[in-house]
Structure 1
Amino acid sequence: MTNYMTHDVRREDAEGGVILLRSAHSLPEPVARSSDWLHRWAEERPQGVFLAERSGTGWREETYGEALEHVRAIAAGLVSRGMGPDTPLLVISGNSVTHGLLSLASQYVGVPIVPVAEQYALIPGAQAQLRYIADLIDPAMVYAEDGEVFASALAMEALSGRLHLVARNAGQGMMTVDDLMRDGADISEAAASVGPDTVAKILMTSGSTSHPKGVITTQRMMCVNQAQYQRALPFLTERPPRLVDWLPWNHVFGGSSNFNQMLACGGALYIDAGKPAPALIGKSFENNMLMNGTIAYNVPVGFAQLRDEMRRNEALKQNFFADLDMLFYAGASLAPDVWNDLQEMALEVRDEAPLITTSWGLTETAPACLFQHFPADRPGILGVPLAGVEVKLVPETDDRYEVRVRGPNIFPGYFRDPERTRDAFDEDGFFCTGDAMTFVDPSDMNRGLRFDGRISEDFKLASGIWVRATAMRLDLLVALAPLAQDVIVTGEARDEVGLMIVPTPALAKGLEESSGAFDVGAVADDLCTRVAAFNGDKGSSGRIARIMILSEPPSMAEGEITAKGNLNFRKILNRRAPLLERLYAPADPCVIRVDELSVQNNA
């Protein structure tokens, strides 16, 4: 049987309807720095695999003993080049063994590392974000995996005058990591100076509402969060975990949570170069056939695609579930049918289904603050406070609360931005997250909390009635699966709620494009039926009245997609303002009027 820690939530009621929640469980003493984990496992499991990436038909594996040796050599090269706490290292390429070693080497001697989405470097139109980040961070060194692939970005004026470090295919003026490792120096003083308050990394927010912010991430934040995980999930320490993972390291979940979870527990991280995209998902299936995990992290669409493939591929199903302790979905709620199918598939392979769960947190919280660390009966439950976290719930309505958090895993501030740092915390030192939640069961705190939208994304209709756009979007993605890749809820200062659909390739196929939108005639009945069922007897703020299917996919170059792969709703609506006007025009062949068509269909 998998070992879970039971929930034990303490509630305190304060003035103004404020509710304070915390775990009754104590927080174990965390290590002081990430290098403590590396030293431990290099001593206890020197031949154990730590990092691996595909090489030919198999894997290139880096053991803990090798990793410590290479990390110290890279760290010595960094020190010899004058790198330190005031000279950040910018990483513009994606996950790799060398990237992982470089990150740990930087942390070993107190050099802040700044990983950013590789799309910023590879998509010319998105390089403006890279320029902004370079101006903010002012890095002394820039790392790219391949000097040829990233030559255009490295040649940018914003990155000139920095040392350019690459793993391979070095061009003029570039240094390779192998060269750096030969540039030895005494690192004892630099390593000894690293402690809990040392800046380990600066993580850039997605920039969905403004320019990206640099989130200062300390050693304490990362080390505390792993101690919280281990307290909540005892099975993490009962055997070394194994993870086959694609989640990008420029994001807090892939780079801080998943990477450090393997390192903290002596586990193995097999880097999956695939992802839930049409051109790459096959690579993920192949990698999960070559190596299975004891833990699986993915976004809901990734698990849905995996479910569909396992229906056809019995060998993949058997391999995927054989050793699985936990299946974790992030980014949105898992659709109920996917939840149920994965549970049933697991029980076809083994006697006990894995823990199917999720958590809640932000870049600023390292990330996890809430965790559903005990089996739930449905998806969408975010869980209860982790040990050491205080949650303040400030009432928005009778049953909806703004979430604020305080604890040792919360960030100290934004890089070079004292004004935003000041505004991020309330008078009691709680970080104001901007997220809203409701109780699963108001009479039982141990049932946990459910997400109820981003307060900043809610809007009012012309009638003054609030629309909870984020929560509505999540429900609509379930109602419209598998037709909608994503949706944009509209209606601010208008009479009705509308919907712009980003279609999946299956939905878009065969539709006729018309100036930025599809003629919806071929699919109007199906969409109308689905949305009418979603509307049910909801009031005006919960009913979709108009639908448009976008024919032009969201563009990262135009800022419509963030580095995390999320939609920048404000940018989309501003850039496509003419389409928004068409959505609310009296008549347009690209717009479904839900109530009118529903009446016709029922006549």
Structure 2
Amino acid sequence: MIDKQTGLNLVPHDVSMERVGRDLVMSSKIPLGDVVDRTADWLHHWAETTPDNVFLAERTATGWREVTFKQALEAVRGIAGSLGGRNMGQDTPIVILSGNSVNHALLSFGAQYAGVPTVPLAEQYSLITEAHGRLIYVLDKVRPAMAYTDDAGLFASALSLPQLEDVEIVATKTEGAPGPVTSFASLVEGDASQDADALLATTGPDTVAKILFTSGSSSDPKGVLTTQRMMCANQAQMSAVLPFLAERAPRICDWLPWNHVFGGSHNVNMMLANGGTLVVDDGKPTKKYFDRTVRNIIERPGTLAFNVPVGFSMLVHEMETNTKLRDAYFRDLDLIFYAGASLPQDVWTRLEEMAIEVRGRLPLMISSWGMTETAPATLMVHEPIGRSGVIGVPLPATKVKLSPDDEMRCELRVQGPNVMTGYYDDPVKSAEAFDDGGYLVTGDAVRFVNPEEPNMGLAFDGRVSEDFKLLTGTWVQAGKLRLDALDALRGLVQDVMICGHDRDAIGLFVFPLPDQVHGNNTSEGAVIDPVLQSQIDTRLAEMAKAASGSAKRISRAIILAEPPSLKDGEITDKGSLNPRKIMTRRADLLERLYDNEDPALIRV
């Protein structure tokens, strides 16, 4: 149906509910359409029907490099032949060390064509010497047969690791390599002895396409075996509820990293499945790289916009004065999609206002819920809802099991064709990931927006695994409380961490925004700043007034002088905090948080 507000063809929420014991099972009544067997089926389709349409584009030193669907298929078949000529297959993965690029995409699809898994990794694993431990862990785990980087010289330190000593190195730029290197161009040329069609015929829905490593925030990273079925089913699930995607070829100008499932599977495959164009944004929502994003959007705007909340916040701030960016961004925009955290309502509202100013109508503004283990989308909003914080309803062919507690907060477990069967080389963790009914145990908690109207969807309510008990035996929902604290301290902090396991009260580690710290008075890792301490005290006191009990009242806080450390594992490559590492590394500060005489302590 055509939605009056957005003008888009949408399928409204339509769910069924079943009670199984004390659990609720929620599923979609919307049928799942046809599912292709492999990503190459999409590529062949578009190379035949729209051969000259641009599939991939990226900025170069002299302009823009564009690759059409026909050119992409030719390159992919050449790469597949080269891999086949090396007798590579499911047991010989390729690690990709560098970030998003056209060649990265072509290599990924070429490997999928030949049935060779790729293992895309965060760039910082290779470029930051202190983060090499994460890289070494993955290399030891997967034992790759090939490693790719865009620039061998830039990645020379990582390429010199003993774990890559006998691994074939492939690079686009080969200058400065620490050893022998194969040019990417020679890989594209193919191998005349190989039949690309025969290689493709060996692949199918159960073929592993990628091994995507989780962020490792609570344990060592786990390699999710991502099959063709998972990725292809997920696109069919989204197409079933967002039919407008198939009605005109979408475009995105996107920076989200491909070592994460959001950018690398959700967004990349959405463009391929729907004959769209993916413009690789070489910017990021950081002070150093944001100007690149602004320039890229102005020159190559999309019809869909994917981002994390901080990215949308930076765009809104820039568009307040940069009308050229605002006009380009909203001119042809059908969809705004956020994930990773809840979008602040004031940012949501300003995006709506700007869209009306430029287009005269609203885009569809939605969010979703998923994990690396679910390829990723499992819950999704697919109708206008007018507010932030809702993660939606189950997509077609998925089942969501909800186990409510006394406050109607529900633990979330899921089933569906987009859900993994297990982790790479880890039968114990694979078995632990599922309950007796075959549902994936996610560790996340949700609430009904309105328990009387399930079609209104679910809202995220923190991580069950982050919850802990106070000494009194009272459970603290740490994930939800953290979100509330972040909202209360907005503008003062970059992040916070809830403390209090086996203590008599809830405390808070505060990572301040650098420009909010006045002076340079620190005490063994803690900030003593009367102005900032007073501001935090005032806001937490206001928050405490609304608290209904000790489980929701933050009674103390301490401002940390050092930001979360990637080198020491305090922050994951996704940018989320690793509470276990922080507690261990800053054990002395945790003790000071509960020392009532410490001058750095903020007593609320």
Is the contact made by 2:558 and 2:600 (CA closer than 8 Å) also made in structure 1?
Answer: yes
- CA–CA distance in structure 1, aligned partners of residues 383 and 515 of structure 2: 37
Q: Secondary structure at the match of 2:417?
A: coil
Counterpart for residue 438 of structure 1:
447
Identical columns (%): 51
Counterpart for residue 415 of structure 2:
406
Per the TM alignment, residue 118 of structure 1 is displaced from its structure 2 partner at its CA by 1.2
- CA–CA distance in structure 1, aligned partners of residues 339 and 62 of structure 2: 30
Q: Secondary structure at the match of 1:312?
A: coil
Per the TM alignment, residue 511 of structure 1 is displaced from its structure 2 partner at its CA by 4.6
Matched, 1:11 2:17: yes
User: Match for 2:111: what amino acid?
Assistant: S
- Output aligned runs, 1:516-555, within 5 Å: 516-538=525-547, 539-555=549-565
Counterpart for residue 4 of structure 2:
none
Matched, 1:21 2:21: no
Per the TM alignment, residue 151 of structure 1 is displaced from its structure 2 partner at its CA by 0.8
Is the contact made by 2:297 and 2:325 (CA closer than 8 Å) also made in structure 1?
Answer: yes
Is the contact made by 2:256 and 2:263 (CA closer than 8 Å) also made in structure 1?
Answer: yes
- Output aligned runs, 1:562-581, within 5 Å: 562-581=572-591
- Output aligned runs, 1:47-446, within 5 Å: 47-56=52-61, 58-170=63-175, 171=177, 172-184=179-191, 185-446=194-455
Per the TM alignment, residue 104 of structure 1 is displaced from its structure 2 partner at its CA by 0.2
Per the TM alignment, residue 106 of structure 1 is displaced from its structure 2 partner at its CA by 0.3
Per the TM alignment, residue 520 of structure 1 is displaced from its structure 2 partner at its CA by 2.6
Is the contact made by 2:77 and 2:190 (CA closer than 8 Å) also made in structure 1?
Answer: no
Is the contact made by 2:380 and 2:395 (CA closer than 8 Å) also made in structure 1?
Answer: yes
Per the TM alignment, residue 537 of structure 1 is displaced from its structure 2 partner at its CA by 2.8
CA offsets, 1:340-392, max 9 Å, x none? Answer: 11111111111211111110011110101000111113111010000000111
Relative to 1, partners in 2 of residues 1:139 and 1:556: Cα closer, same or farther, differing over 3 Å? same
Q: Secondary structure at the match of 2:535?
A: helix
Aligned length: 593
Per the TM alignment, residue 423 of structure 1 is displaced from its structure 2 partner at its CA by 1.2
User: Match for 1:460: what amino acid?
Assistant: K
Is the contact made by 2:497 and 2:508 (CA closer than 8 Å) also made in structure 1?
Answer: yes
- CA–CA distance in structure 2, aligned partners of residues 511 and 229 of structure 1: 51
CA offsets, 1:475-501, max 9 Å, x none? Answer: 222222222111111111111111112
Is the contact made by 1:25 and 1:387 (CA closer than 8 Å) also made in structure 2?
Answer: yes
Q: Relative to structure 2, which stretch is displaced further, 389-398 or 502-511?
A: 502-511
- CA–CA distance in structure 1, aligned partners of residues 318 and 428 of structure 2: 49
- CA–CA distance in structure 2, aligned partners of residues 305 and 513 of structure 1: 30
Per the TM alignment, residue 558 of structure 1 is displaced from its structure 2 partner at its CA by 0.7
Q: Relative to structure 2, which stretch is displaced further, 44-53 or 105-114?
A: 44-53
Per the TM alignment, residue 43 of structure 1 is displaced from its structure 2 partner at its CA by 1.2
- CA–CA distance in structure 1, aligned partners of residues 253 and 440 of structure 2: 33
User: Which of residues 585, 589, 592 is equivalent to 2:595?
Assistant: 585
Counterpart for residue 42 of structure 1:
47
User: Which of residues 480, 489, 497 is equivalent to 1:480?
Assistant: 489
User: Match for 2:336: what amino acid?
Assistant: L
Q: Relative to structure 2, which stretch is displaced further, 327-336 or 542-551?
A: 542-551
- CA–CA distance in structure 2, aligned partners of residues 131 and 430 of structure 1: 32
Q: Secondary structure at the match of 1:105?
A: helix
User: Match for 1:144: what amino acid?
Assistant: T
- CA–CA distance in structure 2, aligned partners of residues 86 and 476 of structure 1: 46
CA offsets, 1:552-598, max 9 Å, x none? Answer: 1111111111121211111011101111111111122322112xxxx
Q: Secondary structure at the match of 2:105?
A: helix
User: Match for 2:490: what amino acid?
Assistant: A
- CA–CA distance in structure 1, aligned partners of residues 264 and 555 of structure 2: 41
**What's the Cα RMSD here?**
1.3
Per the TM alignment, residue 135 of structure 1 is displaced from its structure 2 partner at its CA by 1.2
- CA–CA distance in structure 2, aligned partners of residues 309 and 36 of structure 1: 40
Per the TM alignment, residue 37 of structure 1 is displaced from its structure 2 partner at its CA by 0.8
Is the contact made by 1:520 and 1:591 (CA closer than 8 Å) also made in structure 2?
Answer: no
Q: Which runs of 4+ in 1 moved over 3 A?
A: 508-511
TM-score, structure 1 normalization:
0.96
Q: Secondary structure at the match of 2:379?
A: strand
Per the TM alignment, residue 525 of structure 1 is displaced from its structure 2 partner at its CA by 2.6
CA offsets, 1:68-122, max 9 Å, x none? Answer: 1111111111111221111111111111100000000000010011111111111
